[in-house]
Structure 1
């Protein structure tokens, strides 16, 4: 017959951290039947008293992640008075942070939720960049924070993904002389559109290398200088018609181009909520 024990998980937030830690520890005691009970969003002394009342009549442990100093102190005091074992799961690591990095914690609850929100915004932006890559679904142009336009091999896709990792929704559209650009390009605010240009020589070098990597060694119109000049001239005319800023990406790393774009948009106030 197993001896059932109770662990009260108390937190001033949801309590996922405490719950996972308790389960990880409990899994090491195979002979024990452990029941975990949750008290989430503990905000005041009454919430603590409710836990104490439940715990003092059973053989139990209180495991908690509470960062509000006054509430933590009250819980420590009350559990000591009642002879209940209470464990602050965050204290050792908090002390290590303080001593090693010479900094103090904010003692603000629910900070993990803010981190989670940042994470999900980043994921959403990455999914957006994939969905609206290379001119797919022009509806994305209206929904995007940034729209990148340019000829093939001007780093539109990697730049879109880099900016997405900074939580910006980016769509990109390839400019091809034989294919009219979508009308939506001329309907969106030109302030959120960015043209990417490159020197003919650099683009010729990039495209030749691309063909080589694909195993295509015979001459191809894609990499011919005449074709490249035609594409760049057509693209520049479209960019001028839209009235968007143009960045020469010939000798720039993705990070450098992204910094230019963000600085430009921040200066205009376009990313006030970014």
Structure 2
């Protein structure tokens, strides 16, 4: 990459969805403040003609090449082309394969898209996703006892995206908004099996998100308290009191990503399930 440019071409070649590559790339590029990759993603590369088009694209826009190709003939062809062009080309899973092979003394089965097989875990994720979408924002409160996790919090505390992330991990997640001057649903207060977790953020953070939300919708708020800092602070205090009264853990999401919040919730859920199991044994 030239010294005068902060942009570079980044080619991601996969015989599956390409999600693994994109996750790795985002994690890596996040460590460099002053560069911006121009991403070229080539998923589901499983035929010679597809790979030929990819090689043409790489030649026309040289840059870093990362790949996950199970078919070794395709991998060798891609690597030879990059070598001829003088470009870096990396099989991002190769170091992981080598560690597994040396430590476990097992060989690879080389299944394309093996992580996406429609097994029991897959259907569990689909069931969790369906449940979560049906129980978003307080919908169908009567089925809350079926949830693994119930997230509660005032408006704009990332309840929905966190619920969807958890569902993608096979966790049935409902979320309930806490609304000023309104009692939470009776079913929430009576729930015993699910883990209930409160989400909160600073008043400044919530105010900024709510203001941006109104602007993005090109709408005017008829209720000034929705974006009033003092009113928001009262909402936060109300949610804190509710969580304290019921012994619900409370997570401050102000400076947390969705992934970080979900990781803490999953850890809490493991402990919660262990406690339920111990109670049942007694």
TM-score (norm 2): 0.55
Matched, 1:172 2:175: yes
Contact persistence 1:94–1:105 (CA under 8 A)? no
Contact persistence 1:150–1:196 (CA under 8 A)? yes
Matched, 1:222 2:226: yes
Structure 1 spans left out of the alignment, 5+ residues:
1-92
Matched, 1:232 2:248: no
Contact persistence 2:145–2:193 (CA under 8 A)? no
Q: How does 1:33-182 map to 2 (within 5 A)?
A: 103=101, 104-105=107-108, 115-182=118-185
Structure 2 spans left out of the alignment, 5+ residues:
1-69, 77-90, 102-106, 278-282
Contact persistence 1:265–1:271 (CA under 8 A)? no
CA distance in 2, matches of 1:144, 1:164: 11
How many angstroms does 1:232 deviate by?
1.3
Q: Which residue number in structure 2 is paired with residue 263 of structure 1?
A: 267
Q: 1:179 is paired with a residue of what secondary structure?
A: coil
1:8-41: CA deviations, max 9, x gaps?
xxxxxxxxxxxxxxxxxxxxxxxxxxxxxxxxxx
How many angstroms does 1:267 deviate by?
3.5
Q: 2:218 is paired with a residue of what secondary structure?
A: coil
CA distance in 2, matches of 1:229, 1:112: 45
Aligned-pair RMSD on alpha carbons? Answer: 3.3
Q: Which residue number in structure 2 is paired with residue 33 of structure 1?
A: none
Q: 1:147 is paired with a residue of what secondary structure?
A: strand
Give the number of the structure whose alpha-carbon radius of gyration is greater. 1
CA distance in 2, matches of 1:256, 1:175: 22
Contact persistence 1:191–1:244 (CA under 8 A)? no
Matched, 1:209 2:212: yes
How many angstroms does 1:187 deviate by?
1.5
